Every structure is written in C-alpha cells, then in structure tokens.
Amino acid sequence: MSFADLKSKRQSKSRRTYVSCPSDAPHTSGPLLPQVIADPWANKDAQLPTPPDDNADLHILPRGDLYKELPSWLAVRESTSSGRSLWNHGSTNIRPGDVILSLRPHVFTLSTTYLDSHCSGCAGSPVSGLKRCTGCRKVWYCTSTCQNNDWPTHKLECTAIQNWSAEAPSDKVSVPSDAVRCLGRILWRIRRRGVGSIWVKEIQAMQSNRKSIHPSAVEGHTHLAQSVVRYLGASSPTELEDYGIMSAADLVDLISRFIINTVALTTPSLTPIGVAVSPLIALINHSCTPNVVVVFPRSRKDSRDEPVAKVAALRNIAPGEEILMSYVDTTLPKSLRQMTLTETYNFQCHCKACTKSGGVDPREAVWCPKACGGTCPIPTESNLAENRISGCTNCGAAINDPDAVMDVVRVGQEALHKATNLQDNNKAKSLTANIISVLISAGLTPSTHPLLALLKLHQTLLISSFPTPLTQEVLNETIRISGKYSVGLSAILDEGHPVRAMSLVELGKLLAVDEPSPPTSQPKNGSFPPSGPARLKAAYETLLRARKELLIGFGRQTEGGEVGDGVRETLVTLEKELEVWSTRIRNVLEDTPS
Ligand SMILES: C[S@@+](CC[C@H](N)C(=O)[O-])C[C@H]1O[C@@H](n2cnc3c(N)ncnc32)[C@H](O)[C@@H]1O
C-alpha cells in the first residue's frame, strides 16, 4: 500500500466553536413558535421513567406539522432548565451503531478553504472533474446535476459573491466567511419558500439565545449581522422584510439561532469542511459523555441525497432515556469545555464528566512518580494554594514538583496554540516534536491535554510532509506517534466513538505501508512498531478493530461509509500478503532439513 492516501489537508485554521454544533435559554412560546396540534404519534403505553428533579417540569411536546422525519419512537420534550430535547420514546433499547436519524441538512456551506476541492452541491470531493461556476468563479460542482439542483439558491448567491468580491480590499477576503454564506442561503430560502412554510417554521423554531448572549460574543454577532446585511445587498436589517426580518432584533435572533444550532459538516474521515443546519439535529441537548454522534459517512445507499447527516448511537439508550450529543471536543479538560459551553451556548454542563469528584480525569493526569502504573491528577493553582495536592490513586505517592508539572502544561498549551497557527509546516513539526518529548518526560499520560492534541497535530504534520522516497525512520516515528495518540484517545472516548475509530484506521493504514528499508534482524521483542510479517499482522488486527468501531460510530447500516469501504479493501490486500508470507515460511520450513 502507498502512503499517498494517508496525506490529508491540515485542518482549516479558521475553525471556530460555532461550527461544532448546534443553543440556551429555555424555549419560550412566542410568534416564532410553530402552531402545535394534537400529538399523533405519542405512544401512550411506553413506560417512561420519572424525570430527574431538576427537570421536574419535563413534558412531551406535541410535534404538530413539524419534524416529519422524526421517527415515532423519538419524542420531543421540554423543560425550563434545558429547553426542548430528544428522548427515546420507544419500548426497546437503541443499540450502539443504530442510526436514529439520517437526513440531508436544511442548509449547508463549505468553508472557503474547501470551495475548490469539494462540490457545493453534494459536499463530495471527486479525485478530478470538479467544474467551476463560470459566474462567481468561486464555487465548484462535481456534476451538472449537482449544479442544477443548487441553482435556485446559487443564482442569488452567485451575484452576491461577485458583488462582495468586487468590493473586497484584498484577494484573501474576496469570499465571505462560511457563516455569512450559510446565513445568506438560509435567508434566500426563507424568501423563496415563504414564512408560512414548514421548512421556515422549523428553522424559526430553533432556539435563540438573543436575550442572553455572552458579553464575549456580542462583537462577533454584531459583525456577522453587518456582513450579512451587506452580502444581501442591503444597507440595514429593516430592508430585509422579504426575508421575514422586520428589525435588527430579528436578525440578531436568526444569527443566535445559527450559532447555537449549527453542526460541523465533516468529510467521511471527520475533517471539518463547513457548516450545516438541521432543525431536527438541533433538538438534541448536550452532554460531555454523549450517547450519540453526528457524522457524514457518505454511504453508497445515500449517494443521491448527499451530504447526509447520520446520528449514530454510541451506547445502549434505554426507553425513556434522553438522546445527548456533545457540542464540544470531549477530549478537552472540563475548564475548557465549560468555557465554550458558557460563552457560545449559555449554559453550565452538569453531566457525569463535569460533576464527577474524586478519581483522576484521564484528560489531566501524570504517571505515578514511583512508576507503580497508577496516575495522579495534574495539580491546579487552587490545589496548591490550599495545599490539597492529591497523590497517586494506586499507591498514594505524591508528585515531586507540582509547580514544575503546572509550568510544563502551560508551556505545552502555548506551544500547541503556536504550532496550530504556524504557516511553516517544518517549523510547526519541530516545535511539536520538541514539546511532545518535554511533556512525556514530565510524566503526562498520552490522554492528557495538551499532549493528546499535540500528538494528533504532530501526526498530521508528519504525514503531510512525508519525504520522497519515504524513509523507514520517518515512517516508524509516525507510527509511534499515531500509536500513542490512539492509546490516549482510548482512555477518554467510548469504544466506537468515530474519532477513536478514525485513529485506529490511521494507525492500521500506516502499519500497512510497505516498509522502505526493513531491518535485517527483527526489532527487539515487544518493540513498536514491529517489522515484516509481525507488522502486517499488527496492521491487520488494528484495521479489524477499526472496522468494528467504525460500525458503531458511523452507523451499522452505513458499514462505516467511505472510510469503511477503504478499510475493507486494505484488509483484503493484507490477508493476501499475510497468506504469501505464511506460504513462504511454510516452503522454507519444508525445504529445511530437520
Ligand atoms: C442546539 S440547542 C438544543 C435544543 C434546545 N434545548 C431547544 O430547545 O431547541 C442548544 C441549547 O440548548 C440548551 N442546552 C443544551 N444542552 C443543555 C444542557 N445539557 N443543559 C442545559 N441546557 C442545555 C442550551 O440553551 C443550548 O444553548
């Protein structure tokens, strides 16, 4: 196997939190809410457990004419503490790998960086054959069908992009941001479909946090509102009546809805390439220990409707249990998760991971100083001030120099920030390599922040700059980093989480790359990575595990989507190669005199 397909673009640097998901403030009734009629699908016989105390007011909402795609065994409930939410209303468990929702988002847009490499009609990335819109010259399509399907919206977008581009002070800002373009698409569709349509009602029923926008987000909202007005060729929000916007407050409402209800549009291998809005997915509340994930696996069965979002179950979800996804990166420590949740989504999370006391959070841990195999929590300033430094959970040994550990974590975070923003890949690569070895020598476990994030970044940098020809040394180093990253993720994420599954795919594929110059003697027993047939066997076993996890995180019915297809092909190749090796070994044994 060659390594060409391992190379992936470095993730867009313009990633902002609002793309990670879908909003705050209890859902209140008002003119924007849908008209509700009697609940035609309520299963009166379902045994629903008593809601927890803080949700004592939790009640089932009738769906009315909205959310036609919602299966009857899912219920929308509402509470004063967390607004509307989605629940398993059936009488059986939802199992890991079950796809509970499969839908094309109401609207999606590609990030500017991906406009020329992905189709704006289906979000696919054909190896060749993308054709540019001859009007705006910014948007590309893979087929005329995709272009024709997108034309009713793009004809308006096309002119808006051209006008924007003509006024842009530099080439770098000649295309509006994905947020502005996505809001433009929403507003053109509102105008075309009419404010009374179900589509528009579903968009308008999404939660808005306009009345409680966090102070740190006000400037961003204002800037976005001004850009949207300009993009639509208007000079003030009051000129947007045709789009259902009667005042500046209505526009801020729409922007707030957009920010808190948007999910990241990702490739089948989880690279974020844009933003997507689906009012059904937006009904799902947050937990840092989610029981579902949203993925875009691109399965052959859905090819006509792509991009299709799948909401896949990660665990058993019992009847009467809430469906919960994560709006933030759950590998981050609690303080960083809570910061995003407060600033962007206006709530404090009280999930198990956020309220757990005692024990060691694998995201913030150092190995026991006595190397007993246990771990100690990373000390914090307040622990230190109150003289409350916890020791190893196994043997009780105390960290030798808590200040030094805290310093090293701080330095690691600064280095991560710097390396993520460096334009020069080689500089970024040597920075990540150096800081990783400092953090490892300070005893941080691979699941600890920022070591885990640095391992991922370093792996991406190594792969994107593989030398030609590839050397054994670089390949082995990349495999070791990938292995550490995968081990780190396994300490935090459930089996079957798509991020964990993808890390196994990447590790397995690296192990399957032909060794440029295999050592003449086998590496020492137990050293990693092995060589020759042992390496092929490790690749095969890693990809088998990856496949099992893909069938959960990307949905059993999709068979892992595009990534699953690739893994199956590699497994077949590896089986053949392993067979050749064992035949050779058998022949040698038979030819050798006893
Ligand atoms: C995408 S919306 C989720 C659906 C929303 N509850 C509704 O009524 O439309 C995100 C918003 O829901 C609320 N929310 C989500 N998860 C929550 C949680 N775990 N605790 C409290 N509020 C939550 C927050 O107000 C958040 O900004």
The stretch 138-165 carries a mean pLDDT of: 97
When pLDDT is averaged across residues 351-357 and rounded to a whole number, the result is: 92
Spatial distance between the Cα atoms of 468 and 487, rounded to a whole number of angstroms: 29
3-class DSSP state of 518: coil
Count of CB atoms situated within 10 Å of the CB of 483: 21
Is residue 186 domain-shared with residue 202, that is, in the same domain? yes
Best of 283, 347, 352 for a ligand 1 pocket test (most atoms within 8 Å of beta carbon): 347
Is 433:415 a contact under the CB 8 Å cutoff?
A: no
Which of 345, 346, 348 maximizes ligand 1 atoms within 8 Å of its Cβ, making it the mutation to test the pocket?
345
- The rounded distance, in Å, linking the Cα atoms of 73 and 336 is 35
Instruction: For residue 552, give the H/E element and its range.
Output: helix 532-553
The answer, yes or no, to whether any atom of ligand 1 lies below 6 A from the CB of 204, is no
Domain presence at residue 357: no
Ligand 1, closest atom to CA 23?
A: 27
**In ligand 1, which atom is closest to the CA atom of 283?**
4
User: 85: pLDDT confidence band, cut at 50, 70 and 90?
Assistant: very high
Going from the Cα of 330 to the center of ligand 1, the distance in angstroms, rounded, reads 17
Asked whether the beta carbons of 323 and 82 are under 8 A apart, the reply is no
The CA distance from 367 to 443, in Å, is 5
Q: Kindly report the CATH number assigned to the domain that includes residue 323.
A: 2.170.270.10
Q: What is d(CA 265, CA 335) in angstroms, rounded to the nearest whole number?
A: 26
- Check pLDDT > 50 for residue 43: no
Residue type, 39: D
283 lines ligand 1 (CB under 6 A): yes
Domain total of the chain = 4
Of the chain, the percentage scoring pLDDT greater than 90 comes to: 76
279 and 372 within one domain: no
Whether residue 268 has pLDDT greater than 90: yes
Q: Relative to the CA of 345, which ligand 1 atom is closest?
A: 27
Q: Which of 537, 544, 521, 507 lies closest to 6, judged by CA?
A: 507
260 lines ligand 1 (CB under 6 A): yes
Confidence of residue 566 (pLDDT cuts 50, 70, 90): very high
Q: What integer best gives the mean pLDDT of the chain?
A: 88
Grade residue 46 by pLDDT with cuts at 50, 70 and 90. Answer: very low
Residues 6 or more apart whose Cβ sits within 8 Å of residue 51: 58, 79
Q: 256 and 288 share a domain?
A: no
Which residue, judged by its Cα, is nearest atom 22 of ligand 1? 82
Same-domain check for residues 413 and 513: yes
- Of the pLDDT bands very low, low, confident and very high (cuts 50, 70, 90), residue 535 is very high
Pairing of strands 309-313, 272-277: unpaired
Q: Does residue 229 surpass a pLDDT of 70?
A: yes
Q: Which of 78, 207, 325 to mutate to test the pocket of ligand 1 (most atoms within 8 A of CB)?
A: 207
Residue nearest to atom 19 of ligand 1 (CA): 286
Are residues 311 and 223 part of one domain?
no
In a domain, 506, yes or no: yes
Of the residues 263, 284, 319, which one is the last residue of a structural domain? 263
User: Are residues 193 and 333 located together in one domain of the fold?
Assistant: no
Domain hosting residue 504, numbered range = 407-591
> In terms of domains, do 23 and 78 share one?
yes
CA distances from 119 to 20, 132, 140, 232, 296 (A): 21, 9, 5, 23, 15
Average pLDDT value for residue range 37-43: 27
Query: Which has the higher per-residue pLDDT, 303 or 11?
Result: 303
Ligand 1 within 6 A of CB of 261: yes
Q: Contact 228/190 with Cβ under 8 angstroms?
A: no
From first CA to last CA, the distance across the chain in angstroms is 36
Please check whether residue 242 lies inside any domain of the structure.
Answer: yes
Q: Is there an atom of ligand 1 within 6 Å of 20 CB?
A: no
Residue bearing the CA closest to ligand 1, atom 13:
24
Q: Tell me if 285 CB under 6 Å of ligand 1.
A: yes
In this structure, are 411 and 394 located in the same domain?
A: no
Assess whether the C-beta atom of 83 lies below 6 angstroms from ligand 1.
yes
- Provide φ and ψ at 409, rounded to 5°: -65, -40
CB 177 within 8 Å of CB 227: yes
| 274-295 pLDDT tens trace | 999 999 999 999 999 999 999 9
Does 25 contact ligand 1 (Cβ within 6 A)? yes
241 and 183 together in one domain: yes
Half-sphere exposure of 585 (CA within 13 A, CB side): 9
Q: At residue 7, does pLDDT exceed 80?
A: no
Other CB atoms within 10 Å distance of the CB of residue 284: 27
User: What confidence score (pLDDT) does residue 330 get?
Assistant: 98
Q: Are residues 527 and 494 located together in one domain of the fold?
A: yes
Residue 53 has pLDDT above 90, yes or no: no
C-beta 286 within 6 A of ligand 1: yes
Quick check: is 430 in a domain?
Answer: yes
CA of 355 to the centre of ligand 1 (A): 18
Per-residue pLDDT tens for 459-504?
A: 999 999 999 999 999 999 999 999 999 999 999 999 999 999 999 9
In a domain, 29, yes or no: yes
With a 6 Å cutoff on the Cβ, whether 79 touches ligand 1 is no
Is 161's pLDDT higher than 50? yes
Distance between CA atoms of residues 513 and 177, nearest Å: 38
Residue 200, ligand 1, Cβ within 6 A: no
Q: Is the model's pLDDT at 47 over the cut of 60?
A: no
328 in a domain, yes or no? Answer: yes
In a domain, 203, yes or no: yes
pLDDT of 538 reads 96
Non-local CB neighbours of 357 within 8 Å, separated by 6+ positions:
none
CA of 197 to the centre of ligand 1 (A): 25
| Ligand 1 centroid – CA 80 distance (Å) | 10
Report whether 140 contacts 133 (CB < 8 A).
yes
| Average pLDDT of span 540-559 | 96
For 342, phi then psi, to 5°, come to -75, -45
Residues 431 and 545 in one domain: yes
3-state SS, residue 359? coil
For residue 349 and ligand 1, the question of a CB distance below 6 A is answered with yes
| Model confidence at 521: pLDDT above 50 | yes
Q: How far is CA 174 from CA 112, 138, 164, 233, 493, in A?
A: 10, 9, 7, 15, 40
Is residue 24 within 6 Å of ligand 1 at its C-beta?
Answer: yes
Confidence of residue 20 (pLDDT cuts 50, 70, 90): very low
Distance 44 CA to ligand 1 centre (A): 26
Structure ipTM: 1.00
User: Do 555 and 506 sit in the same domain of this protein?
Assistant: yes
State the pairing for strand pair 285-286/324-325. parallel
The per-residue pLDDT for 56 is: 57
Output the CA 327–ligand 1 centroid distance in Å: 10
Assess whether the C-beta atom of 346 lies below 6 angstroms from ligand 1: yes
Question: Is the per-residue pLDDT at 51 higher than 70?
Answer: no
Residue 257 falls inside a structural domain: yes
Name residue, tokens 């696996």: 297
| Segment holding 548, helix H or strand E | helix 532-553
Please answer whether residues 82 and 54 qualify as being in contact, where contact means their C-beta atoms are separated by less than 8 angstroms: no
